[in-house]
Amino acid sequence: MASAASRRCILRSLHLFFRRPWSVLTGKLDQNYMSSFTSAYAIMNDEHGDPRKVLSGRNITLSAKLKDDEVLVKMLMAPINPADINMIEGTYHIMPKLPAIGGNEGVGEVLEVGPAVKCLSPGDWVIPADPGWGTWRTHAVAPFRELQKIDNKIPVLSAATIAVNPCTAYRMLKDFVHLKPGDAVIQNSANSAVGQNVIQIARQWKIKTINIIRDRPDKDSLVKYLKDLGATHVVTEEFTRLPEMRDLIKTLETPPKLALNGVGGKSATELIRHIGQKGVMVTYGGMAKQPVTIPIGALIFKEVSAVGFWNSKWNAENKNNPAKEKMLEELCEMIKDCKLMPPKSDLLPLTKYQEAVASAMEGYKGQKKVFVMDDNMVLFP
């Protein structure tokens, strides 16, 4: 169990990092925000298309009385992820029935439970158990089976963003190659939200990481930031094509056993070139929107494997798997001990959804857009 000092550590770190009031970071909100919970404000779409055009904010009616298996939830925070945008566009593999409430990830506080609900109590925090649940709303009434309890002793921002990127990083490091302390992993898109979680989790497991980023004007500050998170090496895409990259690989005890690909195209090909014998490349994203090309020699002589990972599918197949509970507990303990920090985030009121979504569609630029459901929570300096 994390100490009180550890919890204060993470709260103070986030308070300074995001320059937001403590109420935002702890989830201790004004309980008088709504005098009635018979309605909620939600961001919805009636058709698929450009999110900047098809989304609208509207009031929706909630059930006046809970059914036996239902819970009333007040949403606290919810991020905007690429999958959220794709669902609204109609291009994602999973699409909720229209009209739909946006958002796959977020955290809420249980306010009331139906008489048959024994696993949740008022004051508990919950996250959606499945994608497409609709987190971009102030309140929700839902069957308890649609929700997963999460530790309410971690900062609300960490709880709101735990289900996608930290879990993706955890499972990829855990499920494809048996890694032991001293082993190495190589990844592209290292400054992405998934990449930052890979760095931090690998550090706790004493796994070395080679982290590839694109060259940029602020490269030096980004390299420092990633190394502060625990990165062993940070190099550019261009560096991976130089002879010096082979020299770097030789400094490791063994070549990387695992490669994590969030880009595709030539970047993925370079990952394959630098993993060791019988290494595995796991693809979880395709930012370059280019196919993965694997050299014939790597397949035949190095016997490498290329597989894919989709966090939503893993969740759907492991709802009752104790491994899921263990994963969330382990991630929460890292958070409490200040060893797993969320990426830099821009906190915006839900009512500013048009601005937030438009910015998110421009691509990840070092700050994740996160909705705060109570306008009064966000007090900009």
Selecting among 33, 41, 92, 284, the annotated active-site residue is 92
* Annotation marks residue 92 as catalytic: yes
Q: In 24-120, which ranges are E strands?
A: 39-45, 55-61, 70-79, 100-101, 107-113
Query: What residues pair up with 148 in beta bridges, in sequence order?
Result: 127
User: What are the phi and psi torsion angles at 19 (to 5°)?
Assistant: 55, 50
Pairing mode, strands 368-372 and 345-349: parallel
Give the other-Cβ count within 10 Å of 350's Cβ: 23
Helices and strands per DSSP (H, E), number in the chain: 14, 16
How many Å apart are CA 49 and CA 56, to the nearest integer? 12
C-beta separation of 258 from 279 below 8 A: yes
Separation between Cα atoms, residue 257 and residue 236, nearest integer Å: 20
Secondary structure percentages of the chain, helix, strand, coil, to 5: 35, 20, 40
CA 236, CA 220: separation in Å to the nearest integer? 11
Tokens 């500050």 correspond to what residue? 221
Q: Where are the beta strands (DSSP E) in 180-329?
A: 184-187, 208-213, 233-236, 258-261, 280-283, 305-308
Length in residues, the chain: 381
Cα 10 from Cα 335, distance rounded (Å): 7
Q: Are 323 and 171 in contact (CB under 8 A)?
A: no
Residue 61 phi, psi (nearest 5) = -85, 135
DSSP state of 62: P
SS3 267: helix
Catalytic positions: 92
